[in-house]
A and B are shown apart, each in its own frame.
Chain A
Amino acid sequence: MDLSVLDRLKWLQQQQMVSPEFLQILGSDGREELKRVESYLGNNNDELQSFRHFPEFGPDYDATDGCISRTSSFQMEPVKNNGHNRAIALHNKRKPEGKTEKREKKKIKAEDETESSMKGKTNMSNTETSSEIQKPDYIHVRARRGEATDRHSLAERARREKISKKMKCLQDIVPGCNKVTGKAGMLDEIINYVQSLQQQVEFLSMKLSVINPELECHIDDLSAKQFQAYFTGLPEADSKQSIMADFRSFPLHQQGSIDYSVMNGTKDQTSSSWETHSQCLYNSLRTDSVSNFFSLK
């Protein structure tokens, strides 16, 4: 029975509560490191295989090259451990045996991860974590079995994974991206969507300039209050419903047809899909993805 990495880390966490001597093994950074581990468990449950940034002790890990080649060399070793050995290894952590112990644990962990990576799980690079944790000494990337382990391809792989992660986020934001696969198709969709949004904004501002003379003083207060009603920090389900209710009261369909009579002139094939897209805009405020972007700086 394999201990998954997540289980093992949870076990480690528990150990932190129980045995302070364990901290001696990790050294002064131990608590900090375990906090990092904790944050991993909290946020990224599907990133089990991400390689944790261990603080480097001793003369064994000198340079970046050394680190990466060392970890990648683990992949070539056959997986010898059965559950028994691993249990012993975990047990051994309780004893404050210093650096050798830690290295062994790391080795065993690497093999365990190799095993589960062979089962087809993808490994995330550690570049995001290093930026998260702000200890950007080394970039640790887990090499998959049989892949090139030299510095350049690792860096490239890390970069590619970053990009694909961002594309996934964009998939959530841009409607209609789920059906298209591949970067080029998705980029197409994104471009079309951004263009349509910009055109709509232009159109609306034209409309605003037409009706501007009739702008009354109390309108701005009303608008501000309405927006606060729409956007207050309600749980997402409720906010969506309330928005639906409010917008139903407006003469939406009329408005929609006026907008798209202009659009349909320019776009022949995609007019219907963009109509539904803008209706979707009213119906869904994707608070999760928005908060993601607003929290990043």
Chain B
Amino acid sequence: MERQIINKRKRVFSLQPNKNPNALFARRYVSHLVPALKKINMNKSSLKTNHQSFEKTVKHEVDMAFALSAQEFAWSRFLQQKLLSSPHDDLISTSSSPSEILERSSKKQVGEKYQDRDEEEGGEIKKRLKELQKLLPGGEEMNMEEILSEIGSYIVCLELQMIVLKSIVQDNTS
């Protein structure tokens, strides 16, 4: 009840819908994702697919919606290409688990005491840049500056995507 009242109060529509980039991204994302999910739903009843491939299809659609809603960035183009070329592979895979990275960073902190800081720093930074390259779609083909500029927009879009997905999930569970 309270939630409905809050929703009613907050139902504000902007006169300039394209000005706020958050709203733009969210709107595009929802407009891509929800019809795709509905389509999957309809097809699911006809095909007898197991749960794993269904998950993969959903994941594929999620990533596709993500790539399509942020057309201004280089990483979205790379992601789109990846998705279109290999629809059934594990698309966003993290190369090294976070625990590995923590180990590496703790080792580095010990090593810095005994070694020349500049030399170590250059190597460490390169290692991390390589990691970042693997995380960012299309990162392998970019140099350091491009990665840094693209990663900011990538992070923000990921956050927005998370907010959207969480609300969708909550809408359906509650």
Knowing A184-B125, A198-B135 are in contact, say whether A293-B167 is a contact too (CB < 8 A): no
| A87 within 8 A of partner (CB) | no
Does B20 sit at the interface, judged by CB under 8 A? Answer: yes
B residues less than 8 Å from A292 (CB atoms): 152
Q: Which of chain A's residues have a CB closer than 8 A to the CB of B81?
A: none
Complex Cα spacing A248 to B53, Å: 35
Inter-chain contacts of A230 with B (CB < 8 A): 10, 26, 163
Chain B residue, CB-CB nearest to A286: B156
Smallest Cβ-Cβ distance to B35: which chain A residue: A220
Question: Is the Cβ of B10 less than 8 Å from the Cβ of A246?
Answer: yes
Do residues A205 and B58 form an inter-chain contact, with CB atoms below 8 A? yes
Of B13, B14, B37, which contacts A212 at CB under 8 A?
A: B37
- Distance of A208 Cα from B54 Cα, bound (Å): 11
Interface flag for B3 (CB, 8 Å): yes
What's the least CB distance linking A191 to chain B, in Å?
Answer: 5
B161 interface contact, C-beta 8 A: yes
Q: How many residues of B contact A (CB 8 A)?
A: 82
Say what secondary structure dominates the interface of chain B: helix
**Within 8 Å of chain A (Cβ to Cβ): is B12?**
yes
Report the Cα distance A270→B100, complex, angstroms.
13
Give B97-133 as 1s and 0s: 1 = Cβ < 8 Å from A's Cβ atoms: 1110110010010000000000001001100110110
* CB proximity of A96 to chain B, nearest CB, Å: 43
B128 touches A188 (CB 8 A): yes
Tell me how far the C-beta of B138 lies from the nearest C-beta in chain A, rounded to whole angstroms.
14
A187: chain B residues at CB < 8 Å are: 125, 128-129, 131-132
Residue-wise, chain B 14-40 has the 8 Å CB interface mask toward A (1 for contact) of: 101101111110110011001101101
Q: Which residues of B contact A262 (CB under 8 A)?
A: none
Among A198, A228, A255, A293, contact of B156 (Cβ-Cβ < 8 Å): A293
B172 near A215 with CB under 8 A, answer yes
The reply to whether A222 and B158 contact each other, CB–CB distance below 8 Å, is: no
| Secondary structure type dominating chain A contacts | helix
Residue B68 at the chain A interface, CB threshold 8 Å: no
A148 at the interface (CB under 8 A from B): no
**How many A-B contacts are there with CB distance less than 8 Å?**
231
**Closest-CB distance, A194 to chain B (whole angstroms):** 5
**Which residues of B are at the interface with A, using a C-beta cutoff of 8 A?**
2-3, 6-7, 10-14, 16-17, 19-24, 26-27, 30-31, 34-35, 37-38, 40-41, 44, 51, 54-55, 57-59, 62, 66, 72-73, 92, 94, 97-99, 101-102, 105, 108, 121, 124-125, 128-129, 131-132, 135-136, 144-145, 148-149, 151-156, 158-159, 161-174
Contact residues of A with B, CB < 8 Å? 159, 162-163, 166-167, 169-170, 173-174, 182-185, 187-188, 190-202, 204-209, 211-216, 219-220, 222-234, 242, 245-246, 249-251, 255, 266-270, 278, 281-282, 285-287, 289-294, 296-297
- Chain A to chain B: the 7 pairs with minimum beta-carbon distance, closest first: A231-B23, A294-B21, A187-B128, A209-B58, A293-B153, A220-B34, A232-B14
What are 24 A-B pairs at a CB distance below 8 A?
A159-B145, A193-B155, A194-B135, A201-B66, A202-B59, A211-B172, A215-B37, A223-B30, A223-B168, A223-B171, A228-B23, A228-B27, A229-B12, A232-B13, A234-B12, A250-B3, A255-B166, A266-B99, A270-B98, A281-B159, A281-B162, A285-B22, A294-B21, A297-B72
